[in-house]
């Protein structure tokens, strides 16, 4: 059920024009930060003149604004980079452009991708595609909403702890976070290098698979990329699936649980085996994540000093240039994470926090490895609730972090995970189910997701 196919073989100029018109009609969602009209039409003309061809010739898309792109500014939704013109393009963007795809603009996110609601953007929150009083999820909230509103057939996102999957779930689209190292991170604003991944949000599994196929593969500019392994496939028989019992407790919204139970029933009727499994470390995963990730953030965001690029604060002393540029350029959540990172890495606390977290991470990975000796796929809700109200969690960081409780385990272990639409709540809010696989089994997960989509 590819939507992308509808864009191929017709006027690329018209495709871009339609997408931009639709983007303008939907400005009230605040999903898009910048449209790259001039460059998009120039690319479209190249396709229409036959100078640019490929599997995605003339297909418009939108990238999260933490991908470095030509055509306008790349801000990472921060004021720090408000005027930043990228001197290079992300490998993922280059690969899509080489197949003829056209980036028409950039989507909103939590500044520097720190957050789970897209409320932490320096340019204001994105609204949920189904209910404007609710959050889009995050941090790839803008990317999920532009796909849900059919502005473009696919959008790029990044997922460090759930930032593709959770907004996909909140807006009723497919969200793919691949095995760590599947897609080059070169040219994407770094958050936590040990869990940062590049993926896609799309309206169909077929399209998501095509995009992953194009973006994946080793890149000499990112030494953590894996040797080629991704190849689209179909299921070669029934699978053994484990449903994570710790993800289906009373703390989880009852409508979310019944949607997941509905999925389990249809998986069984499709011939798969589904059994309850235990992942006892699940309850510690968020704690591990909020030590390891802020530690990496505090280091990665050290580069924003107001000296080499980005906005420089007015000050007469160099130390004040650093301190004020960073105070003015970062949002509250950026500062919280940088300071937590500084804390857990500082002498006297390193062993108790950072080292303990990395050991606990090993235990979590071991638990997953044991389960994958018996099971092909694990499932859980993508998020414990449907989209919450804008402002509901913004004054309580811990409550906000809990929206990621289901998605961080796969990130910490580098596992591929997909959020697939699994129905709606009584109020009409989308609910997603998460499929998790062993490393390098991305294409099998996608094949299962496709089978579920056809139900």
What SS3 class is residue 207?
A: helix
> Binding segment for another protein among 11-19, 156-164, 340-348, 377-385 (CB under 8 A)?
340-348
The single residue among 348, 398, 426, 454 that binds another protein, judged by CB under 8 A, is 398
The yes or no reply on residue 322 touching another protein (CB under 8 A) is yes
As a whole number of angstroms, the distance between CA 112 and CA 87 comes to: 18
- Residues 87-126, interacting with another protein (CB under 8 A): 87-88
Catalytic residue of the set 117, 140, 163, 380: 163
> Binding segment for another protein among 18-26, 44-52, 260-268, 300-308 (CB under 8 A)?
300-308
| Nearest distance, CB of residue 190 and another protein, angstroms | 16
Please report the beta strands in 150-213, taking only residues with DSSP state E, as ranges in sequence order. Answer: 154-159, 174-177, 197-202
203 classed as catalytic: no
Q: Length of the chain in residues, anyone?
A: 455
| Nearest distance, CB of residue 446 and another protein, angstroms | 19
| C-beta closer to another protein: residue 210 or 393 | 393
Q: In what order do the strands lie in the sheet with 273-277?
A: 32-35, 102-107, 60-64, 154-159, 197-202, 174-177, 417-424, 430-437, 377-381, 240-244, 273-277
Count of CA atoms in the C-beta half-sphere (13 A) of 138: 33
298 classed as catalytic: no
As a whole number of angstroms, the distance between CA 304 and CA 311 comes to: 9
CA 348-351-355 angle, to 5 degrees, is: 145
Closest CA to 92 of 226, 220, 211, 223: 211
The single residue among 263, 360, 387, 452 that binds another protein, judged by CB under 8 A, is 360
The site string for another protein over 256-295 (x = CB under 8 A, - otherwise) reads ----------------------------x-xxx-xx----
Count of CA atoms in the C-beta half-sphere (13 A) of 363: 14
- Residues 173-192, interacting with another protein (CB under 8 A): 179-181
Q: What is the DSSP string of 391-409?
A: TSSTT-HHHHHHTTTTTHH
| Nearest distance, CB of residue 69 and another protein, angstroms | 14
- Residues 136-155, interacting with another protein (CB under 8 A): none
Q: State the number of binding residues for another protein (CB under 8 A).
A: 72
342 classed as catalytic: no
The yes or no reply on residue 223 touching another protein (CB under 8 A) is yes
The yes or no reply on residue 49 touching another protein (CB under 8 A) is no
| C-beta closer to another protein: residue 125 or 306 | 306
- Residues 55-84, interacting with another protein (CB under 8 A): 84
The yes or no reply on residue 298 touching another protein (CB under 8 A) is yes
**8 A C-beta contact, residue 243 and residue 279:** no
The single residue among 155, 173, 174, 340 that binds another protein, judged by CB under 8 A, is 340
As a whole number of angstroms, the distance between CA 388 and CA 132 comes to: 11
Active-site amino acid positions: 64, 139, 163
């Amino acid at each position: 059920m590819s939507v992308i196919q509808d864009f191929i073989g017709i006027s690329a100029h018209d495709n871009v024009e339609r997408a931009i018109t639709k983007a303008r009609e939907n400005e009230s969602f605040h999903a898009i930060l910048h449209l790259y009209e001039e460059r998009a039409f120039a690319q479209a003309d190249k396709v229409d003149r036959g100078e640019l061809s490929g599997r995605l010739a003339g297909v418009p898309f939108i990238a999260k604004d933490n991908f470095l792109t030509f055509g306008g500014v790349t801000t990472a939704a921060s004021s720090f980079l408000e005027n930043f013109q990228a001197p290079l393009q992300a490998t993922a963007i280059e690969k899509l452009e080489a197949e003829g795809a056209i980036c028409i603009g950039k989507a909103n996110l939590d500044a520097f991708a720190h957050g789970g609601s897209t409320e932490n953007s320096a340019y204001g929150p994105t609204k949920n595609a189904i209910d404007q009083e609710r959050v889009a999820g995050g941090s790839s909230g803008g990317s999920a909403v532009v796909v849900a509103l059919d502005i473009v057939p696919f959008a790029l996102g990044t997922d460090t702890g759930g930032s593709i999957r959770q907004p996909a779930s909140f807006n009723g689209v497919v969200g793919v976070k691949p095995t760590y190292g599947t897609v080059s991170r070169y040219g994407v604003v770094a958050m936590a290098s040990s869990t940062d991944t590049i993926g896609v949000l799309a309206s169909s599994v077929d399209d998501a698979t095509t995009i992953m196929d194009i973006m994946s593969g080793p890149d000499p500019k990112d030494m953590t990329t894996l040797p080629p392994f991704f190849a689209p496939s179909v299921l070669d028989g029934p699978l053994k699936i484990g449903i994570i019992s710790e993800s289906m407790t009373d703390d989880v919204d009852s409508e979310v649980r019944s949607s997941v139970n509905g999925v389990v029933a249809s998986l069984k009727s499709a011939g798969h085996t589904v059994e309850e499994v235990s992942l006892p470390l699940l309850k510690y995963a968020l704690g591990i994540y909020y030590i390891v990730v802020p530690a990496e953030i505090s280091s990665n965001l050290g580069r924003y000093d107001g000296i080499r690029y980005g906005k420089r604060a007015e000050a007469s002393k160099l130390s004040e240039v650093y301190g004020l540029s960073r105070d003015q350029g970062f949002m509250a959540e950026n500062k919280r994470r940088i300071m937590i990172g500084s804390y857990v890495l500082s002498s006297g606390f390193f062993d108790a926090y950072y080292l303990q977290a990395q050991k606990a991470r090993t235990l979590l990975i071991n638990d997953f490895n044991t389960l994958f000796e018996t099971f092909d796929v694990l499932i859980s809700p993508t998020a414990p609730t449907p989209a919450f109200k804008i402002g509901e969690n913004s004054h309580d960081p811990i409550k906000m972090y809990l929206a990621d409780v289901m998605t961080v385990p796969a990130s910490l272990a580098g596992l591929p995970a997909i959020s697939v639409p699994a129905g709606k709540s009584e109020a009409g809010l989308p609910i997603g189910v998460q499929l998790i696989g062993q490393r390098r089994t991305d294409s099998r997960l996608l094949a299962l997701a496709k089978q579920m989509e056809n139900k």
